[in-house]
Structure 1
């Protein structure tokens, strides 16, 4: 009986270790995805800022050259 319980415990421990390893991989993947999302957000913020700055420069050049913005 004791041998059976020991074998069962061993199987349980092995299964739990595999589940733990899987969870660690999932956690690592989620961290990488979070990093990519943060990077994308920063990139999009830069694009919006650059677009606004270029719009302002374009308006300035239109005024300089006497063109009206339509």
Structure 2
């Protein structure tokens, strides 16, 4: 996979993609997971953040996703 940075038996470290938004929404809308952030995010805010991060990524600032 072109996006893959590193792969082990238990995880994959890869570049963030637009289709990560659904999984990120699960985290960003969870008050426990977002305890140390100013607020939780709704679907629209998550999509906006994903677009922003993908745009930033194109500027060589790196955001990664750990998956299994």
> Normalized per residue, which structure has more strand?
2
Greater radius of gyration (CA): 1
- By relative contact order (CA 8 Å, sep 6+), the higher-ranking structure is 2
> Normalized per residue, which structure has more helix?
1
The TM-score normalised by the length of structure 2 is 0.28
The TM-score normalised by the length of structure 1 is 0.27
